[in-house]
Amino acid sequence: MSIVFDQKSSTLSLHTRNSSYQMQIGPLGYLLHTYYGRRCEDFFDYLHLPRDCGFSPNPYTLREGRGFSLDTLPQEYSGSNGADFRLSSLELRTDSGVVGADLHYVSHRILQGKYRLSGLPSSFGDMAETLSVTLADAASGLEVELLYGVFEERDIITRAVRLHNCGTQTVCLEKVASVCLDLPFGPWDRIHFHGRHTMERQPERVPVANGIQTVSSARGASSHQHNPFVILCEPDATEDHGECCGVMLCYSGDHQTDVELDQTGSVRLTAGIGERHFSWRLNPGESFDTPEAFLCFSSEGLTVLSQRYHRFILQNLCRSEWIAWPRPVLLNSWEANYFSFDEDALLRLAREAKDLGVEFFVLDDGWFGHRDDDLSSLGDWYVNPGKLPHGLSALIDRVNDLGLKFGLWVEPEMISEDSDLYRAHPDWALSVPGRQPAISRDQLVLDLSRPEVADWVYETLSTLLRENNIEYIKWDMNRSLSDLYSSSLPPDRQGEVAHRYVLGLYSVLDRITAAYPDVLFEGCAGGGGRFDAGMLAYCPQIWCSDNTDPIARLQIHQGSSYGYPPCTMGAHVSASPNHQTGRSTPFGTRAVVAMAGTFGYELDPAALSPEERAEIRKQIALFHSCSDLLLTGDYYRLTKEGAPYTAWQTVSQDRRRTLVSLVLKTTEGNPKPLHLRFKGLIAEGRYRLAWQRNYGFAGLPGTAESSESTAHEFSGAALMYGGYTFPRIHGDYPSVQLCFELLQDSSADS
């Protein structure tokens, strides 16, 4: 069993293949966290010695001993307004004025299978086990059920909290963390992923310093600015060495992760719904579920941590049938036409796409209402007759007749003031009474906290999908939430709007993806403004960034890869000079970078040269030849700190095939040799350089397409330990891809 209770020591142990997580029922029923690290069957209560620390109070019953203080001991789920002055996991206030919580163990249950959450996405798995631990606060009547899902083979432990009001008065929740993690012995570094629109998920690594450090979003979405994923690691941890602990929140709204280094040298991390816009009134008999958090421990560095998250998300979180299917190559109309198009222009674009080998044609913004710019019509999801006089179905039929599947862009959470929907239902927009709302991109936000609004969104999308042969939906969201106020809620419940909005979003996504399982849904929020595990539960891919510049995308993709699978990252080849940065890059380099994600195109093929059109055909064929590898392979970051290049590698699960990609960001005169050591291969096996594609690299052995010579055979050990040296490089932003395959007669035991 992966969950074990030792009655003699009152210890609960959770074991995955390579990690152990442990807690003990301590004095007076306080639940103490004793260990999270490499798998070990021993008990670790001996690590936490009693101590009398000045100004750290003791429980009343143990006041004479003075050696037991919640302010100095690691706790499994911290209370508030008591003896612990560090980060709290739970803040509450009752109608009678009781503030805070003093939590004591009541009981626990070990269950087969994985728990489920109400209204929230959560992981799944037949082989998982559940631990449920109930704590109680006598003063408020609140029961706190700590939920743990143990995925032994995945090396993942999930956590969530369910609160039950078992008392006689209403409890106002002001903070409810999904996870509290105490790590008593350090030091630790913290890695988080910050950014902005068009520059998302930039990794930043800093030492955990004294005090409290916060990563949060109060924008109503997980945001471009701060992703809900944090890693704590040893200061000397690298890709291949050192202990690392990841905490990923499965939530798409306001979030907050706090890390505190306290007076004893202990580190506490709490993560959950963001506090700034949150409160929740829990009436007697009611329950409240928090979002789920995914914990992963690695003693082998950051790469192993990332790979475990990748497998877990692909196999135990996303429910879409598309998650296991090779992704089709699509052409999106946005950067080719923007708002300026008609039916003839779209059909010309579709014919060009088909000629190049594209499989999906996607019509982006501007097809509905009277929308010729971003000033109107959001909410009016009927065809713009000036652009599509024969209707949407007629256009789709003609696209299908070309041999292409059809996809459509929508932004169903938003509403324009200049729209029929707003004129009919102005109260459906989030807006504070007596105040003009903030305007972003000339649009307001539909109040999805209202069930009737969520139902309208579902029925509108369902009608579109039912009446038209749409096989792909790009679901966009192009502004942050502000003016949080719902006309359907009383004044004392306005603090629930932000969370109820996310619950409304999830209810629509849950229903629409279940009703149309064959449709490929791609999430988007101005690009990567809602790139999180919550959205990945419904969407097998998310548009990674509105920035399609391949050099900027290198860092966005690499930052995203620490927690999220590359095959979930929407990525396209776009025009050069790039529309966002003005930078010019080789056509091949743009494809190399896009192949680090889902791979597609966002340009006008008519503007390309015959050579570039021929190159697209080769790129698509190459992508299809590698699609299984890119979908299911293990991903390795090969970039060295301070290097002038970005490099990555994908290795098949059986380690018989690998694809290595490298893009040089800075070209120098008389450069130093460019050298990489590959990873993940069979040391005893012999690998053949099956093919290579190079753009600006001079003198690579063999042709640009393939290499058959036995002189280009290497042992796995040679490629991993000795490495591979690239020839001298020429031009701006050159790139190369190398594919190695294990020889069929290799004696290696895979």
Mind telling me the catalytic residues? 532, 612
Task: Please report, to the nearest 10 degrees, the dihedral formed by the alpha carbons of residues 383, 384, 389, 391 taken in order.
Answer: -10
Q: What is the token pair recorded at 493?
A: 């419940």
If phi > 0 it is left, if psi is from -120 to 50 it is alpha, else beta; for residue 107 that is beta
Report which of 508, 634, 506, 504 is spatially closest to residue 567, judged by C-alpha positions: 634
Assign 709 to helix, strand or coil: coil
Q: How far apart are CA 597 and CA 603, in angstroms?
A: 17
Q: Using omega within 30 degrees of 0 as the cis cutoff, is the peptide bond preceding 187 cis?
A: yes
What radius of gyration do the chain's Cα atoms show? 27
Residue 340 contacts residue 387 (beta carbons within 8 Å): no
Which of these, 605, 597, 610, lies nearest to 361 by C-alpha position? Answer: 605
- Report the distance separating Cα 712 and Cα 413, nearest Å: 54
Distance CA 704, CA 587 (A): 15
d(CA 520, CA 516): 9
> Which residues neighbour 463 within 8 Å (Cβ) at sequence distance 6 or greater?
none
The Cα–Cα gap between 335 and 353 comes to 14
For residues 688 and 740, give the distance between their C-alpha atoms in angstroms, rounded to a whole number.
Answer: 5
Q: Find the helix packing angle between 587-594 and 550-561, rounded to 10°.
A: 20
271: nearest Cα among 159, 127, 138, 164: 159
List 408's β-bridge partners, or say none: 363, 473
91 vs 89: CA distance, rounded Å: 7
Using DSSP, state whether 408 is helix, strand or coil.
Answer: strand
Strands (E), 652-698: 657-664, 674-676, 686-695
- C-alpha 623/C-alpha 353 separation (Å) is 16
* 732: its two tokens: 């701006």
Cis check for the bond before 577: say yes or no (omega within 30 of 0): yes
Q: Which one, of 485, 392, 396, lies nearest residue 444 by Cα?
A: 485
